[in-house]
Structure 1
């Protein structure tokens, strides 16, 4: 049986890559078609309770991304080769272990560090440019999560065309799961019965949260009974977003939840009126699909991968056009026919994406390498 070691050290259910690590490794493990080992941090052990202890490689003492990068590059490859010299290693976030003697597969989610200014700190940008250029030469296969992501890879690294395979992400249909109210923060529970516009993303420049806030400010008097709820942890250059809310005096109309757990996220989706995703750059973009599963009409950016993912099941806007964002929010709020049409199209669109389909395609790549 083919042996695969999956690096899940970056698992975090609040981020897209972390969710990918968790859901894909879980789906592949449960299929039992490959001898599958999963590398995890000690603090994530409870999350991976679906796997037998003998199939978990538990790493202790990794507290930040710098420590994780160092471990992935220099310590983990030696550990894996010593125990599993014939295994394929899957690194699910762009960077390959350059000193590894094993065959390697990587997933590239996006190349924002090349295409979008201020996506990361300058140090991170330099590191990502350096390590990605070397990684794509080292690996035997590259998984791109959308055709857009593939086009970005070939734009900057045209020589790797034969290595790249597109495999869409799955998504989590939270709407079919129960909500444990005991796990929901009181400030979030208090939203029940209130009308609110929802967005879910890390607070950083490429997510365009500040643009959404400015658009909301333009229409706030037309929708006096609505709040804007912003879900996500603070990322690179986040402080300006909070300063903007203070400047516009919107503190009583905007709620920042910070990082949330799955029960809180389900609650927020379930009770939202409109979902808005005005990101400038995405390799995939899971939140609109999650929102669609709850029957929430979506207004999304018309840039990068987002139109490819949502198809005709969402209203698309230019994320640089603040008036356009505001106008479309008003249109969805006020026009039930538009909402009903979007919800109907969403049901069909969601059938295109599942972790089972993603798992099937990834296992096929494992078996062919």
Structure 2
């Protein structure tokens, strides 16, 4: 008899993120599923979910009310999650984050969890409150029937840190939906390198600022454009100390502007110490933007030969690599072509099909092990 999976996703990540890689990942995968599913979200400000029709329970609520009653609305989502997980209809549960409190409502239903990175575990001494999320992740991951890792590097981290059996872990790469842009709607300088995302410590932004101050000495016209939140006082002080304030731009952009930012940049720079995958690599490839990035963690695995690599712990290595790429048109052209080829390995459609295979494998294994397995089909 053919297995007909029914997948339940909870509200966790959609309660936590308006924008963010994990919620975007789930929206991309779920929107391409060929299986039956349900998402336990009634109220959310998540941008990606609001742009789709995949959350059938979602209700519109005015912004001023959502801000006033945020916690109350989150609790309503959680109650909806609990109600779904207590359903008599057989299902597979795929939590969107690591809160293990929902497990007491799932009964014997099989569980699949996606692990995006092990940053909390690797940098526990530098992240305040990491103990609780580490405990929750460990509980969810060890109880999961199968685990999806977003890179081979992340899989290795899971095995090394949590001693999980390798055969329980499937590696499924991300994709990107960005396309190159010919538009010039944003007020951008003629020559700039691009930094995308937040600037937490492992993103290594402070090193990039220092490296850029060296690059600026060789090219006074070059700018550094940064997306994300406004600069902090310490960042502004560092920028001032390096005398590069007139060549640094912080821009708050919407998702629809990202393709223009990448497409017009001379170079995208990704100096992180650690990433689980690195979607911006694919975004740059998709927008014909060359990439310079760290030679650590998952980056060599994801970028292959389509990146100019540097040592993220060496300011001179970062600066020299940037200068080498932006001053050599043929080098940029080669990196762009290599990026276009590399991008063929990744797509959200492929990720969705591989995720479906994990669901099927999970149910097949579960049925073999469960005396009540026939109720799952």
TM-score (norm. length: structure 2) = 0.83
Give 1:23 shift. Answer: 1.2
Find the partner of 1:81 among 85, 97, 106. Answer: 85
Which deviates further from its counterpart, 337-346 or 277-286?
337-346
Point out where structure 2 has 5 or more consecutive residues left out of the alignment. Answer: 364-377
Give 1:212 shift. Answer: 0.4
Q: Name the counterpart of 1:265.
A: 258
Question: In structure 2, do the counterparts of structure 1 residues 74 and 293 end up closer, same or farther at CA, with 3 Å as the change threshold?
Answer: closer
Which deviates further from its counterpart, 97-106 or 301-310?
97-106
Determine if the alignment matches structure 1 residue 322 to structure 2 residue 324. no
Give 1:360 shift. Answer: 0.2
Give 1:239 shift. Answer: 4.9
CA distance in 2, matches of 1:25, 1:7: 12
Instruction: Verify the 8 A CA contact 1:213 1:245 in the aligned structure 2.
Output: yes
Determine if the alignment matches structure 1 residue 7 to structure 2 residue 3. no
* Superimposed CA distance per residue, residues 132-168 of structure 1 (whole angstroms, 9 cap, x where no aligned partner): 1211222211110000000000011113433211111
TM-score (norm. length: structure 1) = 0.85
* Aligned pairs (5 A) from 1:119-130: 120=127, 122-123=128-129, 125-130=130-135
Find the partner of 2:97 among 93, 98, 110. Answer: 93
Determine if the alignment matches structure 1 residue 172 to structure 2 residue 177. yes
Give 1:242 shift. Answer: 3.1
Give 1:250 shift. Answer: 2.2
Determine if the alignment matches structure 1 residue 241 to structure 2 residue 235. yes
Q: Name the counterpart of 2:116.
A: 109
Give 1:90 shift. Answer: 1.1
Question: In structure 2, do the counterparts of structure 1 residues 347 and 16 end up closer, same or farther at CA, with 3 Å as the change threshold?
Answer: same
Give 1:345 shift. Answer: 1.0
Give 1:174 shift. Answer: 2.6
Question: In structure 2, do the counterparts of structure 1 residues 78 and 15 end up closer, same or farther at CA, with 3 Å as the change threshold?
Answer: closer
Give 1:281 shift. Answer: 0.4
Instruction: Verify the 8 A CA contact 2:19 2:46 in the aligned structure 1.
Output: no
Q: Name the counterpart of 2:31.
A: 26
Instruction: Verify the 8 A CA contact 1:212 1:325 in the aligned structure 2.
Output: yes
Give 1:222 shift. Answer: 0.5
Determine if the alignment matches structure 1 residue 230 to structure 2 residue 226. yes
**Aligned residue pairs: how many?**
348
| RMSD of equivalent CA atoms | 3.0
Structure having the higher Rg: 2
* Superimposed CA distance per residue, residues 44-64 of structure 1 (whole angstroms, 9 cap, x where no aligned partner): 4884454366x4366989879
Give 1:267 shift. Answer: 1.9
Instruction: Verify the 8 A CA contact 1:39 1:59 in the aligned structure 2.
Output: no
Instruction: Verify the 8 A CA contact 1:199 1:277 in the aligned structure 2.
Output: yes
Find the partner of 1:345 among 338, 341, 352. Answer: 338
Question: In structure 2, do the counterparts of structure 1 residues 288 and 151 end up closer, same or farther at CA, with 3 Å as the change threshold?
Answer: same
CA distance in 2, matches of 1:134, 1:243: 42
Point out where structure 1 has 5 or more consecutive residues left out of the alignment. Answer: 182-188
